[in-house]
């Protein structure tokens, strides 16, 4: 009897190990890239969000807008050569946009070459009616965004239409944006124009572009504190199959080397404002990040 009990326990343990192994392996897609494992999706995504549909007093009624910079790249090559299917995280785009719209600010969308915005569809909260509505509203902007290169050449220096630039997260913010010379010009222009900069989760990786033509000591955001997705959490990605391998580089470490301090240690709901740089730590921060950004922009225009 005792032997049977031991065998049963061993069988259960082995079965649990097999189930854990199978559910924690990233899922390969048709193009050979990988989306997060079933386990990772269960742990890191949700069919709804905590968007609270805030009503803002003194809602803005003017023409100032926010310029949102998105990636047009989908696949991140990991350290082991496998490709992670990424892009922009839908919650980190859409919840802040919902708050900005509620506060009276329209949002324009740009990508480096004017190609469609890539969105992590596997992270889409399919049962969230607010998200579904704003996603539908912005569908044309996502499919036919402004060309950042054209904007820099033809519009940037002549424009007074914008109050802020916004860089949403998703690991796609680490692709193409940190070394983009047009984004370098945009970041320097917005900073010198005393505009707000909004960045959430991996979005601050794109702020590395601001250092392309400056030495370390003259980096725009040297001495700033931000909330952002920690490198240490990214390091855990392969364990649960969120990513198919380790990251190709550590963007937080690069920001640290430029004099930026990341204040959070977890991928949590931390948000932070340092001068005119507003940041958030993860998708869990998207609602609070959007509220903080909307509130600060209203204060700015009502000065």
Q: Please count the structural domains in the chain.
A: 1
Residue 85 falls inside a structural domain: yes
Q: Quickly state the pLDDT bin for 2 (edges 50, 70, 90).
A: low
Q: Specify burial of residue 276 (Cβ count, 10 A radius: 0-12, 13-18, 19+).
A: middle
**Number of C-beta neighbours around residue 19 at 10 A:** 11
Residue 225 falls inside a structural domain: yes
Residue 17 falls inside a structural domain: no
Residue 13 falls inside a structural domain: no
Mean pLDDT score, 241-267 = 97
Order of strands, sheet of 75-77, starting from the edge strand that comes earlier in the sequence:
27-28, 34-35, 83-85, 75-77
The whole-angstrom separation of Cα 293 and Cα 276 is 10
Residue 127 falls inside a structural domain: yes
Q: What is the CATH number of the domain that holds 270?
A: 3.40.50.880
Q: Give the least confident one: 13-17, 79-83, 250-254.
A: 13-17
**For the chain, percent of residues with pLDDT exceeding 70:** 92
pLDDT at 16 over 70: no
Q: Quickly state the pLDDT bin for 213 (edges 50, 70, 90).
A: confident
The whole-angstrom separation of Cα 272 and Cα 182 is 26
Residue 2 falls inside a structural domain: no
**For the chain, percent of residues with pLDDT exceeding 90:** 86
pLDDT tens per residue, range 148-159: 999 999 999 888
Q: What is the mean pLDDT of the chain?
A: 92
Q: Quickly state the pLDDT bin for 4 (edges 50, 70, 90).
A: low
pLDDT tens per residue, range 191-208: 999 999 999 999 999 999
Residue 209 three-state SS: helix
Q: Assign 3-class secondary structure to 31-80.
A: CCCEECCHHHHHHHCCCCCCCCCCCCCCCCCCCCEEEEECCCCCEEECCC
> Between residues 170 and 1, which one has the greater pLDDT?
170
Which residues does the annotation mark as catalytic?
A: 201
pLDDT of residue 19: 43
Mean pLDDT score, 104-125 = 98
Residue 10 falls inside a structural domain: no
pLDDT of residue 1: 60
Cβ atoms 82, 243 nearer than 8 A: no
> Between residues 13 and 66, which one has the greater pLDDT?
66
CA-closest candidate to residue 59, choices 301, 303, 278, 266: 301
Domain membership of residue 149 as a residue range: 26-301
Q: Specify burial of residue 37 (Cβ count, 10 A radius: 0-12, 13-18, 19+).
A: buried
pLDDT at 225 over 70: yes
Residue 100 falls inside a structural domain: yes
Cβ atoms 291, 54 nearer than 8 A: yes
pLDDT of residue 9: 53
CA-closest candidate to residue 178, choices 156, 196, 202: 202
């Amino acid at each position: 009897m005792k032997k049977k009990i031991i065998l049963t326990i061993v069988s259960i343990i082995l079965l649990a190990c097999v189930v854990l192994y199978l559910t924690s392996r990233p899922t390969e897609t048709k193009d050979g890239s990988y989306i997060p494992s079933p386990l990772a999706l269960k742990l890191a995504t949700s069919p709804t969000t905590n968007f609270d549909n805030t009503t803002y007093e003194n809602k803005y009624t003017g023409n100032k807008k926010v310029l949102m910079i998105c990636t047009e790249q989908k696949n991140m090559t990991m350290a082991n050569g496998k490709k992670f299917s990424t892009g922009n995280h839908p919650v980190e785009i859409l919840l802040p946009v919902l708050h900005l719209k509620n506060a009276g600010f329209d949002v324009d969308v740009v990508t480096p070459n004017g190609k469609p915005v890539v969105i992590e569809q596997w992270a889409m909260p399919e049962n969230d009616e607010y998200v579904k509505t704003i996603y539908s509203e912005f569908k044309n902007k996502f499919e036919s965004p402004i060309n950042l290169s054209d904007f820099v050449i033809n519009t940037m220096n002549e424009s007074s239409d914008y109050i802020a630039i916004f860089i949403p997260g998703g690991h796609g913010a680490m692709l193409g944006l940190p070394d983009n010379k047009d984004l370098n010009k945009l970041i320097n222009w917005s900073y010198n124009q005393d505009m707000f900069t909004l960045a959430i989760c991996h979005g601050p990786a794109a702020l590395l572009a601001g250092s392309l033509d400056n030495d370390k000591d003259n980096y725009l955001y040297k001495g700033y504190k931000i909330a952002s997705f920690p490198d240490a959490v990214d390091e855990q990605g392969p364990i649960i199959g969120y990513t198919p391998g380790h990251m190709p580089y550590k963007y937080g470490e690069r920001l640290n080397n430029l004099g930026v301090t990341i204040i959070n240690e977890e991928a949590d709901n931390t948000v932070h404002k340092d001068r005119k740089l507003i940041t958030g730590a993860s998708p869990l921060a998207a609602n609070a990040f959007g509220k903080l950004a909307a509130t600060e922009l209203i204060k700015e225009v009502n000065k």
